[in-house]
Amino acid sequence: MTDRKPIESWLTDMDGVLIHEGVPIPGADAFVKKLRESGRPFLVLTNNSIYTPRDLHARLRRMGLEVPIENIWTSALATAKFLDDQRPGGSAYVIGEAGLTTALHDIGYILTDHDPDYVVLGETRTYSFEAMTKAVRLINAGARFICTNPDETGPSTEGPLPATGAVAALITKATGKQPYFAGKPNPLMMRTGLNTIGAHSESSAMIGDRMDTDVLAGIEAGMKTYLVLTGLTRPEQVENFPYRPSEVVDSIADIVDLV
């Protein structure tokens, strides 16, 4: 393997790396504090599009993790950035929560169910049959289909919940149209995030708990990748994938001294 440049900036997933079911993972506070003190560019990422960065900042602060709003990057922000680049000042019919609608409002998009340019599907706890039916009809009428992320399930204290990818599959089955996913593992989310903080992939690292999203996105974006074993991917599963992370560590606590 060719020698990489020293790591100057860090991207890290949130759930499974820094927190788990609303509780900080040991070492997360030290890692975030070290990043902030170092002055290095960094982002905390999430594929969940429900919350705005301001919401997530407040939630993390309540857990004792002080992450500035400008250091939080969501799939909703990545989706909005993509749409702003593709079709500035466009319109969209949105199924999602404040994280997604706010991101689209902020780029000047009109949210409408009248002949929209796009149907944009994100995370919500209240997927309705009426909204999905409307999405199907708008896509059949020519609206382009965009999704914030392909995650099929999301975590909850009661167990897995159907997520954006599962609902997208339903709409695809009804329309025959595949969506474009803006979030991980699409490296677009990583590259737009890196651009936001003025960082370069060859001197950046991605930390995640999932081989199929975090590590894959990091590899495809050209970054060094760290897999932590505090989330979804188990040690025995790593060899099942046709790609490997740069390093596998037990938890975020093992990365603190690398910052």
User: What are the residue numbers of the active site?
Assistant: 13, 15
Could you tell me if 180 and 146 are in contact, meaning their C-beta atoms sit under 8 angstroms apart? Answer: yes
Report how far residue 112's alpha carbon sits from residue 95's, in angstroms, rounded to the nearest whole number: 11
Strand 91-95 with 72-74, pairing: unpaired
Burial class (CB in 10 A: 0-12, 13-18, 19+), 174: middle
Cα distance between residue 93 and residue 63, in whole Å:
34
What is the arrangement of strands in the sheet containing 204-208, beginning at the earlier edge strand?
A: 72-74, 42-46, 9-13, 204-208, 224-228, 247-249
Between CA 127 and CA 34 the distance in angstroms is 39
DSSP 211: I
Query: Do 35 and 44 contact (CB within 8 A), yes or no?
Result: no
Instruction: Report the chain's C-alpha Rg in angstroms.
Output: 18
d(CA 108, CA 90): 8
Beta-ladder partners of 11: 43, 206
